Chain A
Amino acid sequence: MSEHIVPVKIYVSIFLALVVGTAITVLAAFQDFPGALNVIIALTIAVVKATLVVLYFMHVRYSAQLIWVIVASALFWMGILFALTFSDYWTRGWL
């Protein structure tokens, strides 16, 4: 499998998308949305930005499947870390 070279146009587009995402994050933070919507909006944009960096700047979109497995394993174990910890903390009041 030979190496894929990402064109400059894509790098520029991703950079602009990241700048726009940052601007939207700041603007949205000053609006008072109902409930937990503020943090949901902020984290959704952050996840989208991180995904763009991983897929294009870090070339994962064009990488071997083994790299995908490694990245997915990180998210999987992070999920375990949060799920098990909060299944404890959030249920303590139930006793």
Chain B
Amino acid sequence: MAESYVEHEVSHPALQHHFENLEQQREAGTLGMWVFLVTEMMFFGGMFLAYTLYRSKFPAAFAIASNHLDIKLGAVNTAVLILSSFTMAMAVYSTQVGKLRAQVIYLVLTIVLGLTFLGIKAVEYHEKYVSNLIPGSLIPGHPFNPDPHAMHLTAGVSMQHVQMFYWIYFAMTGMHALHMIIGVGLLSVILYFSVKGRYSPEYHNPVEVTGLYWHFVDIVWIFLFPLLYLLGRHLGGH
């Protein structure tokens, strides 16, 4: 009894009193983040369900609407996000092996890549704004009103169904972008403490769970890219 008390006295400063040791604390933190990610999967799952349902109802309108998205920007953004997942994994690795300079560099790279993704997303959103493709009256005085010729609208396809695609597109990519913004915020906090030298091979769980969140947001995009940008290309997109 006395011995374990002494052990407590000299324990790592990051160890919270309700955990036996850093190992248990790390596993509890990781588990907690995974439980949160399950709720996130269910959250995005609802939107993937809506997408599947409306795409099966209006396949032609969805293909036409999707072909208007910028495939080059979408593909570049996919590459940017995958690279950012790699630099994030390397930031966690650098912390685990105690390379603290590399840890800071990889965290900065991850943040820069995340901001690059958001910048490209903003360019895409602006193009949709110019083409009057923002659905409903989300922008006051700028309703959904695209040029039917520019959209290559074929006979029998309703512009309302094209608009349905854009509701889903903005809901899903918008929620994804919000998660990216939150991720960049979390990484900035981690970077701040990283520069201050808080994380070490013994204590790096905050870096790791932030990484888990970042990779999850990457996975959402891995599904969004083919489902939103590529679904009608084989039918002769432009």
Contacts and interface: CB of A to CB of B under 8 A. Distances in A.
Partners in one complex: yes
Interface of A is mostly: helix
A89 B56 CA distance: 10
A74 B23 contact: no
Interface string A11-37: 110110011001001100111110000
A8 interface: yes
A26 B90 contact: no
Interface of B is mostly: helix
A87 interface: no
Contact of A70 (B31, B211, B227): B31
Nearest to B85: A57
A95 interface: no
Contact of B86 (A15, A63, A70, A85): A15
Contact of A29 (B52, B82, B93, B230): B230
A44 to B, nearest CB: 10
A82 B89 CA distance: 32
Contacts of B233: 29-30
Contacts of B227: 42, 46
B90 A19 contact: no
B86 A78 contact: no
B140 interface: no
Contact of B34 (A19, A39, A67): A67
Contacts, number: 123
A17 to B, nearest CB: 10
Contact of A11 (B26, B93, B235): B93
Given A19-B79, A43-B226, A53 B85 contact: yes
B93 A5 contact: yes
Given A5-B93, A67-B30, A49 B222 contact: yes
Interface stretch (B1-9, B42-50, B118-126, B170-178): B42-50
B147 to A, nearest CB: 25
Given A74-B42, A78-B41, A18 B82 contact: yes
Interface of B: 23, 26-27, 30-31, 34-35, 37-38, 41-42, 45-46, 49, 52-53, 56, 71, 75, 78-79, 82-83, 85-86, 88-90, 93, 96-97, 208, 211-212, 215-216, 218-219, 222-223, 225-227, 230-231, 233-235
11 contacts: A18-B222, A22-B75, A22-B79, A30-B234, A32-B235, A42-B226, A45-B226, A53-B219, A64-B27, A67-B31, A78-B42
Given A3-B23, A26-B75, A42-B227, 11 more contacts: A5-B96, A15-B82, A18-B222, A29-B234, A32-B234, A54-B215, A64-B27, A66-B31, A67-B30, A71-B38, A77-B42
Interface of A: 1-3, 5-6, 8, 11-12, 14-15, 18-19, 22, 25-26, 29-33, 38-39, 42-43, 45-46, 49-50, 53-54, 56-59, 63-64, 66-67, 70-71, 73-74, 77-78, 81-82, 85-86, 89
Instruction: Name the 7 nearest CB pairs between A and B, nearest first.
Output: A29-B230, A42-B226, A15-B86, A74-B38, A32-B234, A29-B233, A74-B41
